[in-house]
Structure 1
Amino acid sequence: MDKNIGFIGCGNMGEAILGGLLASGQVQPANIWIYTPSPDKVAALSAKYGVNQAHSPQEVAQIADIVFGAVKPNIMLKVMSEINNSLNKETLVISVAAGITLDNLASILGHDRKIIRAMPNTPALVNAGMTSLTPNALVTQEDIANALNIFRSFGQAEVVDEYLIHPVVGVSGSSPAYVFMFIEAMADAAVLGGMPRAQAYKFAAQAVIGSAKMVLETGKHPGELKDMVCSPGGTTIEAVKVLEEKGFRAAVMDAMDKCMQKSIQLSKS
Structure 2
Amino acid sequence: MTLAVLGTGKLGGAILRGWVRAGLFAPSEIALPARASGRALAAELGARVAGSNGETVAGAEILLLAVKPYQLASVLTEVRDQLPPECLVLSVAAGVSTTALEAVLPDRQPVLRVLPNTPAQIGAAASAFCRGAAATNDHAATVTRLFSALGLCIEVAESQMDAVVGVAASGVAFVYLFLEALTDGGVRMGLPRAAARQLAAQTLVGAGQLALETGLHPMELKDAVTTPGGTTMAGIAVLESAAFRGIVMEAVRAATERSAELGRPK
**What TM-score do you get using the length of structure 2 for normalisation?**
0.97
- Which residue in 1 is equivalent to 2:201? 205
- Which residue in 2 is equivalent to 1:18? 16
Task: Report whether the alignment pairs 1:185 with 2:181.
Answer: yes
Q: Is the 8 A contact 2:95 2:260 kept in 1?
A: no
Question: Which whole-Å deviations, capped at 9, do the CAs of 1:188-210 have from their partners, x for residues lacking one?
Answer: 01111111111111110100000
Task: Report whether the alignment pairs 1:52 with 2:48.
Answer: yes
Identity between Structure 1 and Structure 2 (%): 37
- Which residue in 1 is equivalent to 2:97? 101
Q: Which amino acid aligns with 2:84?
A: N
Q: How many angstroms apart in 2 are the aligned matches of 1:192 and 1:159?
A: 42
| Partner SS for 2:167 | helix
Using the TM superposition, give the Cα deviation of residue 110 of structure 1 relative to its aligned residue in structure 2, in angstroms: 3.2
Q: Which 4+ stretches in 1 moved above 6 angstroms? A: none
Q: Is the 8 A contact 2:129 2:156 kept in 1?
A: yes
Q: Is the 8 A contact 1:17 1:150 kept in 2?
A: no
How well do the aligned residues superpose, as a CA RMSD in angstroms?
1.1
Q: How many angstroms apart in 2 are the aligned matches of 1:218 and 1:18?
A: 31
Q: Map 1:114-263 to 2 at 5 A.
A: 114-263=110-259
Q: Is the 8 A contact 1:7 1:69 kept in 2?
A: yes
Question: Which whole-Å deviations, capped at 9, do the CAs of 1:194-231 have from their partners, x for residues lacking one?
Answer: 11111111110100000001110011110000000101
Q: Which amino acid aligns with 2:78?
A: E
Alignment counterpart, residue 6 of structure 2, candidates 1, 5, 8: 8
| Partner SS for 1:139 | coil
Q: How many angstroms apart in 1 are the aligned matches of 2:33 and 2:129?
A: 23
Q: Which amino acid aligns with 1:153?
A: A
| Partner SS for 1:134 | strand
Using the TM superposition, give the Cα deviation of residue 63 of structure 1 relative to its aligned residue in structure 2, in angstroms: 2.2
| Partner SS for 2:126 | strand
Q: Which amino acid aligns with 1:52?
A: R
| Gapped regions of structure 2 (runs ≥ 5) | none
Matched pairs, number: 265
Q: Is the 8 A contact 1:60 1:67 kept in 2?
A: no
| Gapped regions of structure 1 (runs ≥ 5) | none
Using the TM superposition, give the Cα deviation of residue 111 of structure 1 relative to its aligned residue in structure 2, in angstroms: 3.6
Q: How many angstroms apart in 2 are the aligned matches of 1:48 and 1:182?
A: 35
